[in-house]
Amino acid sequence: MTDPQDFRAPYHHGDLRAALLAAAEALLASGATLSLRSVAKAAGVSHAAPYHHFANLEALLAAVAARGFDDLAAAMRGAQQGGDTAATLVGHCTAYVAFALARPAVFRLMFSPLLQRKAEHPALQAAADGSFQVLLQAARAHVPEGGDALALAGWSLAHGLASLAIDGALSTAPVAVPSAHELAAVLAARLLKGGFSPA
């Protein structure tokens, strides 16, 4: 296992919060046990420093998850294809899967039981809801009547595929499976080609 100290980064005055979030994400990725003390050590700051921004470990994790949702939303917006609503939705699906594969530890945190308590963490709630709004707006633009159901179907498809991919299940499937990125594009296109309509 990677030594958490390998993620030690110099702390620059005025950027403590960002340094702590980066250190926490690196520790998550390494599989290390997380605590405010371990995050402070990885960030190269005093043990008391995290308390300037986070009341406890859950507050820090909520902030990491919120940043993840913000980054996911940005990735999906970056995949938008002008006025081509179908291509935009396919792009959202592939961007979602790519994000999960690039940052699996954060992806798991984002959808951990912490999400069920997002109302206790306003920034997390805003970020989580905001990322879904990106997909929802695209789905409504594609199917004005039934966009909400299409967004849920697309989210379920992308999330299920992303989870299978990061857990390694696709690599052991008893059939030939293309890359997760290719599979995401194919499945999303088929969902749309099927003439999705709400139940």
- Domain holding 123: CATH number? 1.10.357.10
Decide if 159 is inside a domain.
yes
First to last CA, the chain: 48
Q: Which mean pLDDT values do the consecutive 10-residue runs of the chain (199 residues) have?
A: 45 75 95 93 90 93 97 96 92 97 97 93 97 97 93 96 94 91 94 67
Please tell me whether residues 131 and 33 are part of one structural domain.
no
199 lies in a domain?
no
- 27 and 48 housed in the same domain: yes
Q: Verify that 65 and 14 share a domain, yes or no.
A: no
Q: Assess whether 129 and 90 both reside in one domain.
A: yes
- Compute how many other C-beta atoms are within 10 angstroms of the C-beta atom of residue 95: 23
Which pair of structure tokens corresponds to residue 170?
A: 């696709």
198 located within any domain: no
As separate numbers, helices (DSSP H) first and strands (DSSP E) second, the chain gives: 8, 0
The answer to the question of residue 176 being in a domain is: yes
Is 87 found in the same domain as 134? yes
Report the number of distinct structural domains present in the chain. 2
48: containing domain: 4-52
- 91 and 148 share a domain? yes
- The answer to whether residue 73 is domain-embedded is yes
State the pLDDT at residue 82.
83
Pair 118, 40 in one domain: no
What confidence score (pLDDT) does residue 15 get?
Answer: 85
**Mapping DSSP to helix (H, G, I), strand (E, B) and coil, where does residue 168 land?**
coil
Give pLDDT, residue 80. Answer: 86
* Same domain assignment for residues 31 and 96: no
Helices within 10-120 (DSSP H only): 16-30, 36-43, 57-78, 85-102, 104-110
57-93 burial: b if 16+ Cβ within 10 Å, else e = bebbbbbbbbbbbbbbbebbbebbeeeebebbbbbbb
Q: DSSP secondary-structure letter at 44?
A: T
Same domain, 92 and 143: yes
136 occurs within a structural domain: yes
Residue at 146 is within a domain: yes
- Residue 178 CA neighbour count, 13 Å, CB half: 7
Rounded to whole angstroms, how far apart are CA atoms 87 and 188? 9
pLDDT of residue 194: 74
Q: What pLDDT, on the 0 to 100 scale, is given for residue 6?
A: 43
> What is the pLDDT at residue 195?
58
Domain shared by 107 and 180, yes or no? yes
Whether residues 45 and 62 fall in one domain: no
Q: What local confidence, expressed as pLDDT, does residue 197 receive?
A: 52
pLDDT score at 109: 96
Q: For 66-80, how does the pLDDT look when each residue is reduced to its tens digit (9 = 90+)? A: 999 999 999 999 998
Same domain, 48 and 64: no
